[in-house]
Amino acid sequence: MNKPQQTVLIVGGSVAGLTLANMLEKFGVHYIVLEGYDEIAPQLGCADQVMSLIDRPIRDSYLRNPDGSLIKHYSGIREGEMFLEILYNNLKRKASVLSGQRAVSVKILDHGVEVTTSIGEVYRGDVLIGADGIHSTGRKEMWRIGNELSPGYFPVDEWSTVPCHYRCIFGISSPIEALLGGIHYVHNHNLSYLVLTGLGGRVYWFLFVKLPVPLYGNDIPRYTKDDEARLAQEHALDQVTTTVQFGHIYEARTSSTLTPLHEHVFQQWHFSHIMTIGDAAHKFHPLTGYGGNAAIETAAALVNHLLSNRNLNWSDSEINAAFSAAQNDRHDRASWLVADAHEYQQRHALTTPLWRILARILPLFINGDAVFHVLGQKYVGASRLDRLPVVKRQHAVPYDDELPDKPLRPVWLLTGLGVITQGILYRVSNKLLLPLQVPTTFEGAPLRDHYTGIGSVDKILTDTTRPDWSNCLSSRCQRTPNLPANSIWDRVLVTGHWSDLATVSFDLFTKEVADAVIPGLGFGYILPTALMLGPFENKDTWQKFVVLWQPFPIYVGVLVAGVSTVFRRQKTTATVSGLKMKQRQASDRPSKQDKATQSTLKLVYAGGAAATALVHLWAVCRILSSSDLSFSAVFGNPSFFLPGSHASTPKDDVLLFFQRDMLLNAATVLAHNVFRILHLRSLGYVTTKQAVAASLVTVVAQPAVGPAAAHIGFLGWREDVFTKVQRRISACN
């Protein structure tokens, strides 16, 4: 005997409801959608016309001051079709979507649920999903039934705690010639605007106005057209741009509505065979657009757990477990995003003196890529349908489920650990690196005090040559050549361009930059270092080279930037004449160019690690093979590293200073490497096992191949981690 078909009753033809219907249809699950309006996606304004982000031309985004003047211009991607219409048209069984049938009452059956609609029709199903918005009938009936059957399951009068901080007029207007195409975010005092142009030049707009005091529950009003007209008149002279006022947009409206904006995540989303999703479970401020995404995510989480049993044997316990698991997956994330959306609106409404200052300043220092990556972090933890393959599309930021391991949050714990570690190292350095006796000569020659003619600059440069280089470098370090070399390599890797390259996201690191690293290091670091180590007969010349060496990180950065720019221009010039071939090969080039970039980087990392490891091993061999040298003489006696200890002579004090400096440098590099490994684990880019193994290898590598080689090797491994993640999210793999 065949099992009866399982049925899901969906109350509400919203984004949440129609998305769930599409998902259930994909898996062959029978559903019925009960929509109160006479048509799906009625002309309610623009609130439900969610803008997709796929396959449309680049559009302009403008961030504006209260007077309409421009703060910052960004480029983004927006698309102007109605999302509800897309969801509805995609359904194969449109007969299962019943309009004009508003749910009125719900009854729990022995193994199912029964819904009575506004026209007296009765529908039965195994589960009921309330997707009918903030004023959800499904949720109200769920509360009623839960309070009758299980008193205390739901909080007492939770509706009275639902807050409203803002009200909003939203609408659609006819094209306005003076309004630039794109998206306009307008800051203002206790209010803000979102205005965007759509297909055919139509203008979609939102005016968000902060209430004098927050309202809650039943105290939140239902606004009338007269309320809307009065509010619009109050703000008619507000500048949206320097040439367009809100009054111009409002006068050109074809539809508009004034509505309160509830913001809340309900504590319990389900009871028995009933569950709520979308705005019925979590209501967002609309400025960020999180609400539609969250509705889709919750629908996906629900389907994942509801269909985890392939036999679809929906017993009471299985349904309750599925509903509980879906809520557990989504509740914390929804709460975080609701709070984030509220704060986002607070910033746009300039609700504090601090934001009134930062709103003008911060955008000037943040480019479009930075904005994209910050906003992208809100979406990477999204739920997905586990039983469907993900369509391969090129994207820049990996989703959590594309990573080797689950990201660890909150990241502030890791940040706090890093700050504490650096604080400890800083305090230890203050104890160990005691002031040296200031010499008055350099290798017996007078100290130069004139380099640039600028007094303050010359004083700094003079101080850099005051340690007695003749005693330190010529006498001691000629016998222990690894001491300055190791220390300098550590410095370039920690403070120079290498560490900058290591922190650059893999999608921003071009082949031209990779090719420029070798000449940049050669001429910016290796050459100045060789000249500094001399020695020169002319002590005045030697002092100049010592000073010349000091800003080598700047040399490396400037050279890499300059050389990469030259390479980029040469490439552009060379490809202009071959434009057709360029277009024909466009789909292949990104993959080939990425591989070329990775090959160059591997060469740089391997060469740097090998060179510094050889220097370290050579120094170790020199110490072991020489009767005049010992590890304690070269790297320092442990007792010398106690705070307050001094050497017997000023000359040995200088050597002790450099030994302590090298020790602290090595400790800082090790802490940096371990912190970066833990950071990769917190991002989910490596597994816990890989992070532990990498940390152990980094510690062992310090004495084995030297801190510099260990650090360069770590950077190479880290780049390889980025490359593997990039392959996971590439549409070309």
The 3 state secondary structure assigned to 29-56 is: CEEEEECCCCCCCCCCCCCCCCCCCCCC
Mean predicted confidence (pLDDT) in 79-90: 72
- Of the pLDDT bands very low, low, confident and very high (cuts 50, 70, 90), residue 649 is low
Rounded average pLDDT over 123-132: 97
pLDDT beyond 60 at 484: no
Query: Between the ranges 63-72, 479-488, 539-548, where is the mean pLDDT highest?
Result: 63-72
Nearest by Cα to 132 from 279, 292, 268: 279
Task: Please state, in angstroms and as integers, the Cα–Cα distance from residue 210 to each residue in 113, 164, 263, 650, following that order.
Answer: 41, 9, 13, 69
What 3-state class would DSSP assign to 67? Answer: coil
| pLDDT, mean of residues 531-554 | 79
pLDDT over threshold 80, residue 402: yes
Residue 479 is predicted with a pLDDT of 34
Mean pLDDT of 429-451: 67
Q: Are 401 and 381 in contact (CB under 8 A)?
A: no
Query: How far apart (Å, rounded) are the C-alpha atoms in residues 324 and 528?
Result: 65
Residues 92-116 have a mean pLDDT of 95
pLDDT of 672 > 50? The answer is yes
Closest CA to 131 of 355, 283, 251: 283
Q: What is the dihedral of CA 628, 633, 634, 640, to 10 degrees?
A: -170
**Ranges 183-187, 288-292, 709-713: which has the least confidence:** 288-292
- How is residue 568 written in tokens? 């980029």
The residue ranking higher by pLDDT, 286 or 596, is: 286
Q: What is the mean pLDDT of residues 498-505?
A: 34
Res. 472: pLDDT tops 50: no
The region of weakest confidence among 35-39, 58-62, 441-445, 639-643 is 639-643
pLDDT of 532 higher than 50: yes
pLDDT of res. 573: 62
Q: What is the pLDDT of residues 262-299, one digit of tens each?
A: 999 999 999 999 999 999 999 999 998 899 999 999 99
Which of the residue ranges 79-83, 587-591, 683-687 has the most confident prediction, judged by mean pLDDT? Answer: 683-687
Indicate the DSSP class of residue 460. H
Which of 105-114, 413-422, 467-476, 479-488 shows the lowest mean pLDDT across its residues?
479-488
Query: For residue 323, what pLDDT band results from cuts at 50, 70 and 90?
Result: very high
Given a cut of 50, whether residue 618 has pLDDT beyond it is yes
- Give percent of the chain with pLDDT exceeding 90: 45
pLDDT in the model for residue 463: 59
Q: Specify the pLDDT at position 499.
A: 33
Looking at per-residue pLDDT, the higher value among 623 and 8 belongs to 8
Which pLDDT score is estimated for 588?
Answer: 44
Whether 728 is a known active-site residue: answer: no
The pTM is what? Answer: 0.76
3-state class (DSSP) for residue 686: coil
Q: Which stretch of 436-450, 480-494, 653-667 has the lowest confidence by average pLDDT?
A: 480-494
- Bridge-based pairing of strands 163-173 and 253-262 is antiparallel
Domains (range + CATH), the chain: 1-41+82-154+267-346 (3.50.50.60), 45-76+160-265 (3.30.9.30), 412-573+587-729 (no CATH)
Q: Write down the pLDDT at residue 310.
A: 58
Closest CA to 481 of 541, 530, 517: 530
If you average pLDDT over residues 485-500, what whole number do you get? 34
Per-residue pLDDT averaged across 637-657, rounded?
65
Alpha-helix residue ranges (DSSP H) falling in 433-538: 455-464, 469, 482-495, 497-502, 511-521, 527-533
**Average pLDDT value for residue range 522-548:** 81
Q: Is the pLDDT of residue 508 over 70?
A: no
Q: Are 106 and 37 in contact (CB under 8 A)?
A: no
The span from the CA of 537 to the CA of 357, in Å, is 58
User: Pick the catalytic residue: 59, 64, 139, 167?
Assistant: 167
Q: What is the mean pLDDT of residues 344-371?
A: 86
pLDDT at 328 over 60: yes
Residue type (1 letter), 449? D
Contact partners, residue 501, CB within 8 Å, separation at least 6? 509, 513, 517, 715
Determine which of 201-215, 246-260, 550-564 has the lowest per-residue pLDDT on average. Answer: 550-564
Confidence at residue 80, expressed as pLDDT on a 0 to 100 scale: 41
Q: Which long-range contacts (CB under 8 A, 24 or more apart) does 587-595 make?
A: 587/732, 590/732, 591/730, 591/732, 593/510, 593/511, 594/726
pLDDT, the chain, mean? 82
Is the pLDDT assigned to residue 302 strictly greater than 90? yes
Question: Does pLDDT of 720 surpass 70?
Answer: yes
Categorize the per-residue pLDDT at 513 as very low, low, confident or very high, splitting at 50, 70 and 90: confident
Contact (Cβ atoms closer than 8 angstroms) between residue 708 and residue 489: yes
Whether the ω angle into residue 214 lies within 30 degrees of 0, i.e. cis, is: no
Measured CA distances, 626 to 614, 634, 656, 704 (Å): 18, 12, 21, 19
Please report the pLDDT score of residue 462 as a whole number.
62
Q: Provide the pLDDT confidence category of residue 653 given band limits of 50, 70 and 90.
A: low
| pLDDT in the model for residue 507 | 43
